[in-house]
Amino acid sequence: MIHISHTLIRDWERIADELASQSYAVVDNFLSSDQVSLFHTLTMDYYQAGDFKEAGIGRMQNYSKKDQIRGDQILWLDEQSAEPLIQNYWEDIGLLQQYLNRTCFLGLHSGEFHFAVYPIGKEYKRHLDVFKDSDARKISVIVYLNPEWKPEWGGALRLFLPDGELDILPVGGRMVCMRSELIEHAVLPVKKERYSLTGWLKTADTLSF
């Protein structure tokens, strides 16, 4: 069984420090090349089997599918999955959640994650990772799963920051964390299928309607 990198404490320290100072963090080589390959193969198998669904925006009564805004397809993950790769990912993300709670006092208690595939030509326009009727999502976590990615293939994650825009390429094994309610972002159009493992660390809802 191949386990995701052993969550070295320096990576968690860096993520916590950068989330506090600039509301986002980028960690390269969170997954090794072998792990990226395994995740990529697993994701492609699910995708080619037709297990993915078109993603939408909003939730419950506010949910809708708007391909002109969001073009990815997703497969939600189950923490109890029989796949060792997925089980190990949940375990390591749990360690990150615990560390952020100890150091940043965020009150995180759960997570939700899905595989995402952007077919050629698709994008996700500028948005925040929070719902109008929920403030539970606190930290967005993205891990990129393409073993190879060239700049000319597009698909960068564009962060809209106070001092300008920052484009982050979906390099295999790279992790991006950001404050869900603070960092507006977009996925630029892709010229090659783009794979990722995307999700959110959450608190209890404090909004009431």
Going from the N-terminus, what domains does the chain have, and what CATH number goes with each?
9-202 (2.60.120.620)
Q: At 141, phi and psi to the nearest 5? A: -130, 125
Copy the structure tokens of residue 74: 């997703």
CB atoms within 10 A of CB 3: 14
Q: At 156, phi and psi to the nearest 5? A: -65, 150
Is 107 in contact with 132 (CB distance < 8 Å)? Answer: no
pLDDT in tens, the chain (209 residues): 444 444 456 788 899 999 999 999 999 998 989 999 999 999 999 999 999 999 866 444 444 456 678 999 999 998 887 788 898 888 888 889 999 999 988 999 999 999 999 999 999 999 999 887 788 999 999 999 999 999 999 999 999 999 999 999 999 999 999 999 999 999 999 999 999 999 999 998 765 44
Sheet holding 194-202, edge to edge: 24-27, 175-179, 137-144, 194-202, 110-118, 73-76, 53-54
State the Cα–Cα distance between residues 34 and 200, nearest whole angstrom.
25
pLDDT of residue 4: 44
168: closest CA among 158, 154, 182, 179?
A: 158
pLDDT of residue 5: 47
State the Cα–Cα distance between residues 147 and 170, nearest whole angstrom.
10
Helix (H) or strand (E) holding 127: strand 124-127
